[in-house]
A and B are shown apart, each in its own frame.
Chain A
């Protein structure tokens, strides 16, 4: 079945540093979504990418979908303490449901 992996598992950064998490699928995806889960909270939808090579930005967050539609990345510029949480990608394969990756847990040291 479809597998979605994320690296790194954990990332500790100093406030103001950049952060990137990578998402890789074992199969070609039709689209991919990103979610953020604060400690003790529930996943919150951030964005969806559909097109090959697509790049979308939300303030300090940049999301990219790979040309082959098998990988994606989330980059945060100049992290803030409010960015703390676990970032999940969820990949969708044609005719199937979204499969969530294991997440990357980000901690930001002030």
Chain B
């Protein structure tokens, strides 16, 4: 089966600019996650979608980050305006519904804010 697709792979922007990331999960996976992974740390959940509804966005910095999954399939994560501390890898993951399934991660987008 095809994996989780993410684009772009790399992005370099200046602080205060905006950026968007795209994710296409595995077909049939109702649950989609966006994670932020800062170098040397474990992934930190930003937002979880179940189909096209938000389940958990408690750790999403809503003043600058937004995400949507309009048709319950692919998703976009946006940062506006970016800060230096947003430099990280943004990972998208998907899973079947429920807590008994492992996550399949995409290759991620490495964001550098200068």
> What is the number of residues of chain B that contact chain A, defined by CB distance less than 8 Å?
20
Given the complex, which residues of B lie within 8 Å of A35, measured CB to CB?
A: 102-103
Bitwise, A32-46 to B at CB < 8 A (1) or not (0) is: 010100000111111
Interface digits, B30-43 against A, CB 8 Å rule (1 contact, 0 not)?
00000000001111
- Tell me the bound Cα distance from A67 to B56 in angstroms: 29
B108–A103 touching, CB < 8 Å = no
- Identify which of A14-22, A53-61, A69-77, A94-102 touches chain B: A94-102
The 8 A CB mask of B97-113 against A (1 = contact, 0 = none) is 00111111111100000
Among A42, A45, A102, point to the contact of B102 (Cβ < 8 A).
Answer: A45
**Mask of A87-110 contacts with B, CB within 8 angstroms, 1/0:** 010101000011111110000000
Is the Cβ of A43 less than 8 Å from the Cβ of B56?
no
With A45-B104, A92-B99 known as contacts, the answer to whether A97 contacts B56 (CB < 8 A) is yes
- Type the 1/0 row for A75-90, where 1 means its CB is closer than 8 Å to any CB of B: 0000000000000101
- In the assembled complex, the Cα of A45 lies from the Cα of B101 at a distance in Å of 9
Which A residue sits closest to B41, measured CB to CB? A102
Q: With an 8 A cutoff between CB atoms, is B91 at the interface?
A: yes
Q: Check B56 against A42 for contact (C-beta < 8 Å).
A: no
A-B Cβ contacts below 8 A, count: 49
Are the CB atoms of B99 and A43 closer together than 8 Å?
no
A31 proximal to B (CB < 8 A): yes
User: Beyond A33-B102, A100-B44: 15 further Cβ-contacts under 8 Å?
Assistant: A31-B99, A35-B102, A41-B107, A42-B106, A42-B107, A42-B108, A45-B102, A48-B100, A48-B102, A50-B100, A90-B42, A98-B99, A99-B45, A100-B42, A100-B43
17 A-B contact pairs sorted by A residue (CB < 8 Å)? A30-B99, A31-B100, A33-B103, A35-B103, A42-B107, A43-B93, A43-B103, A43-B105, A45-B102, A48-B102, A88-B42, A88-B43, A90-B42, A97-B45, A100-B42, A100-B44, A102-B40
